[in-house]
């Protein structure tokens, strides 16, 4: 399977018609974008705003971040089975607006959303402060059921990302990344002396607005499966969850999964990278036992000697994490865990809600409870009052002058458990 990511580097963001790329600047036709989203009667009104790195701008409450992309070769659609036909991702060529993001925002839907500051002390904790962001603000129709609201804004963000990329797909390509790897059987034959490694990607799948989608399928209804790493890097996985902002694996994070990228870079050199297994985090013990058993058996059947396990969320999923470690280790596979910790504001509490002596290799992505004071911003995109209901915020978090005193967990992507953060440090 061969994938080319053809990237046009975005270095500026302005209003303009038609939507296009010129000399590194992304021009956005506001009316055209709103028209492209207007076919969903669940949203009463759309608005669009722009946010650039270094500006005094706060975006709140953020639901998802998506990188603008569109297929050039090897498929009819992007984010297959969600907004287009059921094409297999990971082959051909994809156009990428590198350095741009689509950010979806709306009135508070659940308590587990967060914010992005484009400058100031909070900006250094979120990769999205470095993007040129096109922000979609959704006002749902009155009394819209929450799951319908989540679906409407999730699909709109994906549609907007593809629409922007499609409008710019003839722009000059600044860089091309190539990812090419054969089947598991082919790679095991090619590199018989290298340790086979699997990425076990734990995903929020708890329902009640805590969901992840693979090719449009809700992962909580699926047994664990194997994805070729090209599929992951080409839009097979989509976030649909409102887990705490700090460790929410956004759709943008899935497209830039650093575990996949790092293992790919070492493939054929120090490891034999077999692929990724997206798996559940169930809310019941029977589900946790079932998924962890399938995970371990699938890893063994693939011939893995090492398993890198990444978590999403904390608390309840910590039990899934420990079960995955125990069962993989019991079958003779070495495990490394990447996760964050909820250690209290003083850092003195137990980092995970569960523990096991088999967990001997742990990469911490930071303490979600660390407190941070952030100054007022000159401009707020969205609904600043929602900080009172955001996990890591409270009614008293927002001060009269617009500054806030919050936990790290209220910042989108601050302790992302794929390791794409500065606390755990795959993002520099």
Sign of CA pseudo-dihedral 85, 91, 96, 99: positive
Compute how many other C-beta atoms are within 10 angstroms of the C-beta atom of residue 140.
21
User: Are residues 65 and 103 in contact, defined by beta-carbon separation less than 8 angstroms?
Assistant: yes
CB 146 within 8 A of CB 82: no
Q: Which of 167, 168, 201, 242 is catalytic?
A: 242
In this structure, what token pair is assigned to residue 96?
Answer: 């990428």
CB of 388 closer than 8 Å to CB of 93: no
Instruction: Supply 120's token pair.
Output: 């100031």
Residue 391 tokens, joined: 């996990």
> What is the distance between the alpha carbons of residues 153 and 156, in angstroms, rounded to a whole number?
5
**What does the alpha-carbon distance between residue 123 and residue 121 come to, in Å, rounded to a whole number?**
6
Residue 159 burial (10 A CB sphere; 0-12, 13-18, 19+): buried
416 catalytic, yes or no? no
Helix 30-37 and helix 146-167, axial crossing angle in degrees, nearest 10: 130
Q: What positions carry a catalytic annotation?
A: 242
């Amino acid at each position: 399977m061969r994938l080319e990511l053809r990237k046009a580097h975005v270095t500026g963001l302005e209003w303009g018609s038609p939507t296009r790329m010129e000399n590194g600047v992304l021009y956005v036709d506001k009316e055209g974008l709103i028209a492209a989203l207007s076919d969903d009667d669940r949203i009463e009104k759309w608005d669009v705003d722009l946010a650039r790195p270094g500006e005094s701008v706060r975006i709140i409450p953020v639901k998802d971040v998506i990188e603008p992309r569109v297929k050039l070769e090897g498929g009819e659609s992007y984010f297959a089975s969600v907004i287009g036909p059921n094409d297999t991702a990971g082959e051909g060529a994809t156009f990428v607006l590198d350095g741009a993001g689509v950010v979806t925002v709306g009135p508070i839907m659940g308590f587990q959303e967060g914010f992005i500051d484009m400058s100031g002390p909070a900006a250094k904790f979120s990769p999205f402060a470095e993007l040129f962001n096109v922000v979609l603000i959704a006002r749902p129709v009155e009394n819209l059921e929450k799951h319908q609201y989540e679906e409407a804004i999730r699909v709109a963000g994906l549609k907007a990302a593809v629409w922007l990329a499609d409008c710019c797909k003839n722009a000059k390509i600044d860089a091309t990344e190539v990812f090419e790897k054969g089947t598991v059987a082919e790679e095991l034959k090619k590199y018989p002396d290298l340790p086979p490694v699997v990425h076990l990607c734990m995903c929020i799948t708890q329902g009640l607005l805590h969901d992840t989608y693979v090719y449009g399928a809700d992962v909580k209804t699926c047994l664990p499966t194997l994805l070729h790493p090209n599929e992951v890097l080409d839009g097979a996985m989509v976030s649909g969850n409102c887990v705490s902002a700090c460790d929410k694996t956004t759709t943008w994070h899935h497209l830039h999964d650093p575990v996949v990228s790092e293992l790919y870079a070492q493939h054929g050199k120090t490891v034999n990278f077999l692929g990724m297994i997206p798996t559940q985090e169930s809310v019941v013990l029977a589900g946790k036992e079932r998924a962890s058993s399938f995970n371990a058996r699938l890893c063994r059947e693939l011939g893995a000697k090492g398993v890198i396990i990444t978590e999403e969320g904390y608390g309840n999923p910590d039990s899934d994490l420990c079960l995955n470690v125990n069962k993989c280790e019991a079958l003779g596979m070495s495990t490394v865990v990447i996760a964050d910790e909820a250690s209290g504001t003083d850092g003195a509490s137990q980092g995970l809600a569960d523990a096991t002596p088999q967990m001997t290799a742990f990469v911490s992505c930071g303490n979600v409870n660390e407190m941070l004071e952030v100054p007022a911003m000159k401009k707020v995109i969205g609904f600043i009052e929602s900080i009172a209901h955001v996990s890591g915020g409270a009614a008293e978090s927002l001060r009269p002058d617009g500054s806030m005193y919050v936990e790290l967990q209220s910042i989108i992507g601050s302790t992302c458990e794929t390791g794409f953060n500065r606390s755990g440090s795959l993002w520099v």
